[in-house]
Structure 1
């Protein structure tokens, strides 16, 4: 009897690290997306019936010198990270910014921020076994707020590192060095199992001892040198994970802690302004994220397989002195700002008949922002005291979904519906609630054994974001919410194809492409004038709408030790009906990113087991603002960056990897586009890197 298999989509998976592996089989979309890489099956998070999934696996990470997401996702043209180090980096997917994308770790995530984008995108790749990318509005099962995509990660398990070992325990050591910033990185992971119990402990550190240097000819406004002031950063990450198997049931309890610390400016996405730099108020600061997650999975329960988790996330900003920070209330001495997120998900997968899989479940998330203090200021507009009723802003999101995936001959049909509801309580206690129903439909037609065509049409909503936690103290005014504020609603249509062909000479060709149209109604806009020195009332509200459209095309070829890949992405986000002062001035929303082409070419020798290669990222110039009412005409110059890399496996396996790289070989000075035009942080200049990881 044929049943719907929990196997991969009919996709060509181009790995985003070096493009070294491709998938080539037609299967049916799963409840938990499985991705084929050569002979390995890697389980990603629940992403709905997507037509393409880009992933970085543990194997790719082992073969790389990179220690952050920007480096690992360098070959994904639809994603761009800004310059800077740590939380200085803005990130965009298809040009859309952090207001509408997420980083999900073990299905836990928050859409609140400490200041601008700060605190939302902390992730050390050393702790995770897989990083995957979801683009555009998700299907019904994609979770809360899936309007523009997400970067999704799963943390390591002991079983992942014990795979293929004849022992029940092991240790993995890693160390590296990068010349630009004199970065020393090192870590240790211990793992093992006994009977039904398994345990993993991991600690990693990347310490940038010096400020990094931008490319040639750059001179900073402070001392005229080529360094990016206040970019030195100490990054630490820890993971403890315990698992228990009881028959068909598995319980996993994990704790992650990630922290970045150093002398930092208030607005980390700006370089230093020069002079005394009082506007940037540099001080010793720490940004940390603690996540506790309890997960339960069960198979063959009778009516369904179940995956459920409950999580607690605490994002904190510690500052040794904010006396020069107007955003922070000019408080002298140490302060701490906290964002607390509590959430839970329960997901059911039920087989109905021979060819239909039904997915259904519920999602819950509560968020609270706690500023470092509460002010007692005066509203000069209303003539009443501010701060008397200031309270922590809160938001609760709940959702429920139903989705069916069925094979009808050569066509796989996905149809689903989702209901989301939010309750928002502002700083002054005012409460607004709203809910929306979002349908989704997807089709995959296996036209030939090697060619599949696909289309999907998804709706998704995203509730208003909490205002910046560090500014929610009342001294700079009360940020309330307008009556009738709705969740912004995305409608995304996408068509595409995947071709996977193996030639008689065993060469493998992959060709994939897609085109999408998206509109986001009732765009949610937080007050953008953060510099208003007159404390008053301002309101989160729906203002205008957003459009975006674009395409992605990629071609890859592999034969023997040769691997080649070229990918291109282009998009055109626009804000319609917003005031001139919003949109382009604050790049939380979107970026005008030039057409991006990434390419890689590598060859792996058999003896010695050595791969050498080159990769390139080329981005064209853009002119104009994403806000169609803006009088600004910003120019983002083109840039072209080339990296060299090598991976040597002395034992011929992943037991020992020795990696080398030269990033930005030509030492070019450039500004990534996913930040403010002409005033963002320059990217790193030439960087010599070496890394080693050994598992025994």
Structure 2
């Protein structure tokens, strides 16, 4: 698909004069110290390190989150068809952001809306369960914040410019390459430019079967410019473009099946994401101990062409701004701020087989504010937050909706012993009536019921953390409710179908994680399980936009470093127990088969410094044939498995030269 220069490039061109007319600069570039306020929810959250993702040669979302038992990524081995679930809740219930830019609404339910090169990730913050007030509006199931690398992250002390070249080959099947350049320009400016691409053929499953229509091509571009306004203030601008394209079935997460009206033929498809952000951060600015402000715009474009030559697809444009202020009041901490987001979706070349009227366009906006704090009283820490959000939404049938409400949260942490912390908390979140999935504006113009209510989530959680020398043990139990979940269903009042509220969905679960570090050896074991209920049954694969059910998941891991030789070794096992459930299209109970998968990696610095890194990773060492339990698999109406199996053994070899 031919594109004009992307809007983020034009936006950044407009923003650059702001950088050039900034206040006078002072001193050498300084990385700002963070002023942190713990979230007002007691969830067992995670921060993933981009360096480890590089060593394990992560190339898609499944690789990024494979070590977390509370996160499942289904859809097979094609990155475009992968969907992520936290505690059984689909990614569409989360707040997702890249460098502060929110990417939340759905484009097409058979594919993801977020494609990103994992090799560009600096870190990933995962907030599980109903999120804290500061996570932004509508974080019913949590939040995931991706942060990409900057020049100041990569430049060595005293280095003014540098770069890297990366090349990888995959036995199952394809290659990846990338080039990056970064520099410090004088005392105030720093810049980074990165280009990478990945090309894979149809992969093989563990039984040796070649999976048709699973090949993909990806290109990723990242440009960042940083400006040190003073020792305590920094301004940065970034632009990202990611593109995925290939010939895959119209429902990219399903194999072909006969259907007289809605065929599933292999057709050319592409997905593009362009994102621009402008970030300001400062500390010790008069009354404020910390200030963070973000302005962003993101555009996702999905494109398909069928065998008859019809070209169609969807666009989703998100614009927003966030302001966060921080204050330290003695031993106590406070943060507060504002969030604004506007989303617009549209379908191109509408088919409209149901002869419904509709504009093919929708828009919504949300404006909110929050306050969140942390108070210390000896061994007890109290946390709390409150946010208010106001939603406005106009659908493709010119119906207008308004939703607003408060989302409180509170928690307590007690340092019962030097080695033991106990925690408890409760959080609520509201998400107003908002955009339909953009695909629903096209061939299935589902009509909103007039009385749709806002969605509400609440999460109660108990947890503990034990720290004693090199041993750690963490655990959480939780109960989560989602009321008034908005979804689509058949109805008599609209030929295409209706969109409205369902009853309460409930998820109960737990996570337990242990780790031990002794010298250069690191060992870990974790387990997580959740049980969902909606209408007296577990979530099934067809509960799109809500979630799915998976069995109890175990993660085992081990790592060992040989610093004298510049070698690091790692092993990870992911084991999922079988699960009985009722699939869509049948009343019979079936079982999702359990499986165990092993991954290993070796990372070697032959020059004993980070100029040259050689890596070997083997995914699915024993060539296990399996379907991830988060994959849309068995369908009762069709009487067969529709989803794609996971890739079999994949040997990946990579060389990375940094200069």
Q: Is the 8 A contact 1:432 1:481 kept in 2?
A: no
Aligned pair partner of 2:425 in 443, 456, 459: 456
Offset of 1:648 from its aligned partner? 1.2
Task: For residues 128-177 of structure 1, give each alpha carbon's deviation from its aligned partner in whole angstroms, at most 9, with x where no partner exists.
Answer: 21112111011111112111123211121110001x43211110222211
Q: 1:285 to 1:463 in 2, by over 3 A?
A: same
Structure 1 partner of 2:233 = 249
Aligned pair partner of 2:567 in 602, 610, 615: 610
Aligned pair partner of 2:162 in 145, 170, 182: 170
Structure 2 partner of 1:79 = 71
Structure 2 partner of 1:283 = 267
Aligned pair partner of 1:339 in 299, 316, 327: 316
Q: Is the 8 A contact 1:424 1:431 kept in 2?
A: yes
Matched residue SS, 1:423: strand
CA–CA separation in structure 1 for the residues paired with 2:380 and 2:602: 42
Structure 1 partner of 2:277 = 293
CA–CA separation in structure 1 for the residues paired with 2:37 and 2:259: 48
Q: 1:190 to 1:100 in 2, by over 3 A?
A: same
CA–CA separation in structure 2 for the residues paired with 1:377 and 1:592: 33
Offset of 1:274 from its aligned partner? 8.1
Structure 2 partner of 1:236 = 219
CA–CA separation in structure 1 for the residues paired with 2:431 and 2:117: 26
After TM superposition, the structure 1 = structure 2 runs for residues 314-329 of structure 1, keeping only pairs within 5 Å, are 314-319=299-304, 321-323=305-307
CA–CA separation in structure 2 for the residues paired with 1:47 and 1:454: 12
After TM superposition, the structure 1 = structure 2 runs for residues 617-656 of structure 1, keeping only pairs within 5 Å, are 617-625=574-582, 631-656=587-612
CA–CA separation in structure 2 for the residues paired with 1:517 and 1:64: 34
Structure 2 partner of 1:16 = none
Q: 1:626 to 1:94 in 2, by over 3 A?
A: farther
After TM superposition, the structure 1 = structure 2 runs for residues 2-21 of structure 1, keeping only pairs within 5 Å, are none
Q: Is the 8 A contact 2:110 2:252 kept in 1?
A: no
Offset of 1:53 from its aligned partner? 3.2
Offset of 1:269 from its aligned partner? 1.0
CA–CA separation in structure 2 for the residues paired with 1:612 and 1:377: 56
Q: Is the 8 A contact 2:490 2:497 kept in 1?
A: no
After TM superposition, the structure 1 = structure 2 runs for residues 192-207 of structure 1, keeping only pairs within 5 Å, are 192-194=183-185, 195-207=187-199
CA–CA separation in structure 2 for the residues paired with 1:377 and 1:80: 36
Indicate whether 1:570 and 2:529 are aligned.
yes
Task: For residues 563-590 of structure 1, give each alpha carbon's deviation from its aligned partner in whole angstroms, at most 9, with x where no partner exists.
Answer: 1101100001211379x9x965244321
Structure 2 partner of 1:682 = 645
Q: Is the 8 A contact 2:440 2:446 kept in 1?
A: no
Q: How much is the aligned-residue C-alpha RMSD, in angstroms? A: 2.7
Q: Is the 8 A contact 1:126 1:204 kept in 2?
A: no
Matched residue SS, 1:126: helix
Q: Is the 8 A contact 1:378 1:535 kept in 2?
A: no
Unaligned runs of 5+ in 1: 1-39, 219-225, 325-331, 380-385, 503-507
Structure 1 partner of 2:332 = 356
Indicate whether 1:365 and 2:341 are aligned.
yes
Aligned pair partner of 1:213 in 170, 194, 204: 204
Structure 1 partner of 2:148 = 155
Aligned pair partner of 1:263 in 230, 237, 247: 247
CA–CA separation in structure 1 for the residues paired with 2:422 and 2:33: 23
Q: Is the 8 A contact 1:493 1:518 kept in 2?
A: yes
Unaligned runs of 5+ in 2: 1-31, 635-640
Structure 1 partner of 2:56 = 64
Q: How many residues align?
A: 617
Q: Is the 8 A contact 2:44 2:476 kept in 1?
A: no
Indicate whether 1:307 and 2:302 are aligned.
no
| Length-normalised TM-score, structure 2 | 0.88
Q: Is the 8 A contact 1:361 1:401 kept in 2?
A: yes
Matched residue SS, 1:299: strand
Q: Is the 8 A contact 2:633 2:644 kept in 1?
A: no
Task: For residues 388-442 of structure 1, give each alpha carbon's deviation from its aligned partner in whole angstroms, at most 9, with x where no partner exists.
Answer: x524111212221111211111111111111122112111010111111111001
Q: 1:55 to 1:293 in 2, by over 3 A?
A: same
| Length-normalised TM-score, structure 1 | 0.84
Aligned pair partner of 1:191 in 159, 163, 182: 182
Indicate whether 1:671 and 2:627 are aligned.
yes
* Greater mean deviation of Cα atoms: 76-85 or 53-62: 53-62
